């Protein structure tokens, strides 16, 4: 069943925006290598291990799209984009599989996707492919880049607010502890859910709300994530929990900016020094998990 709410929200990301460049920019060798490594480790929720053909088809589409979006690639971005690739292209994988199986007379999911056939299928899906390329570009520019640009400036500010919100709830986080949740925030919690339908529910909120939303979701799911548990069965009314936290978040942010500028500057420097280390640890854990 299609998630109609997610579908409606995606419509606002499917069109080009004036002033934004959507021209394909050729990636350099290092960036291509990073994309390839990330894509090879990316998993698709709701795709069974024995659905090898489906996974391989989606992986090839994901790899091509990441190489053709006009924004620099950041490690971990593949997981965010995997949600959109699955949403738009999963139904096509079945048709593609039926065609290839008929041509090869294979009866298992181990059918290889030869380059020539893949190119033909991709060409037949060119309009949808371009639409998804635009969607991914818009999502990254509107929701992801604001958090990481200028050496994670906005991320650092929002992280301080998150720390303060948790302190109000009787949870005092140790220095830099909150930064250990970067892997959740910067994949929009894709690593924490267990099925694609739950990913859609979280993404529809993130896509329709301000860039601070992932930190509000982190407050909601802190107990689950801090105890290294998966987010199970996302509540259909999750957005109400997020809205209820928005005023508190903005008030604390205003307090930090207006009344505690020295505090903000001091802690921003401390966090800035740690953020590269935490990101490296998160990347290491991701690579280690994928290799196991």
Enter the pTM of the model.
Answer: 0.86
**pLDDT tens track for 197-207:** 999 999 999 99
- Two structure tokens written together for 266: 């001091």
Q: How confident is the model at residue 228 (pLDDT cuts 50, 70, 90)?
A: very high
Place of tokens 């181990």: 110
Question: What's the distance, CA 12 to chain centroid?
Answer: 18
DSSP, collapsed to helix, strand or coil, labels residue 193 as: strand
The pLDDT, as a whole number, for residue 286 is: 42
Average pLDDT over residues 120-130: 92
**pLDDT tens track for 238-268:** 999 999 999 999 999 998 888 655 444 545 5
276 against 232, higher pLDDT: 232
The DSSP output letter for 231 is B
State the Cα angle at 154 between 39 and 270, rounded to 5°.
100
Q: In Å, what is the CA distance from 245 to each residue of 187, 218, 276? A: 21, 11, 28
Q: What are phi and psi of 50, to 5 degrees?
A: -80, -5
Handedness of CA 90, 94, 100, 106 (dihedral sign): positive
Q: How confident is the model at residue 288 (pLDDT cuts 50, 70, 90)?
A: very low
The least confident of 15-24, 153-162, 175-184 is: 175-184
Average pLDDT, the chain: 85
**pLDDT tens track for 43-91:** 999 998 888 888 989 999 999 999 999 999 998 899 999 999 999 999 8
Handedness of CA 145, 169, 236, 187 (dihedral sign): positive
């Amino acid at each position: 069943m299609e998630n109609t709410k997610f579908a409606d929200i995606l419509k606002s990301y499917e069109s080009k925006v004036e002033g934004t460049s959507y021209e394909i920019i050729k990636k350099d060798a290092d960036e291509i290598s990073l994309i390839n490594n990330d894509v090879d480790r990316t998993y698709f929720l709701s795709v069974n291990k024995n659905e090898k053909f489906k996974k391989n088809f989606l992986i090839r589409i994901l790899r091509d799209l990441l190489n053709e979006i006009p924004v620099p690639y950041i490690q971990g971005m593949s997981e965010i984009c995997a949600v959109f690739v699955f949403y738009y292209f999963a139904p096509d994988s079945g048709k593609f599989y039926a065609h290839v199986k008929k041509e090869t007379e294979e009866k298992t999911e181990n059918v290889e996707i030869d380059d020539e056939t893949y190119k033909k299928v991709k060409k037949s899906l060119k309009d949808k492919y371009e639409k998804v390329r635009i969607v991914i570009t818009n999502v990254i520019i509107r929701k992801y880049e604001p958090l990481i640009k200028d050496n994670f400036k906005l991320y650092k500010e929002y992280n301080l607010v998150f720390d303060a919100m948790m302190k109000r709830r009787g949870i005092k986080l140790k220095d830099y502890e909150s930064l250990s949740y970067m892997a959740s925030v910067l994949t929009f919690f894709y690593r924490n859910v267990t099925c694609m339908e739950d990913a859609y529910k979280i993404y529809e909120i993130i896509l329709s709300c301000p860039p601070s939303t992932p930190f509000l979701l982190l407050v909601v799911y802190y107990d689950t994530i801090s105890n290294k548990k998966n987010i199970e069965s996302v509540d259909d009314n999750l957005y109400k929990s997020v809205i209820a936290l928005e005023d508190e978040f903005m008030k604390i942010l205003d307090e930090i900016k207006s009344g505690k500028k020295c505090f903000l500057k001091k802690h921003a420097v401390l966090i800035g020094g740690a953020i590269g280390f935490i990101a490296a640890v998160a990347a290491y854990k991701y690579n280690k998990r994928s290799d196991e």
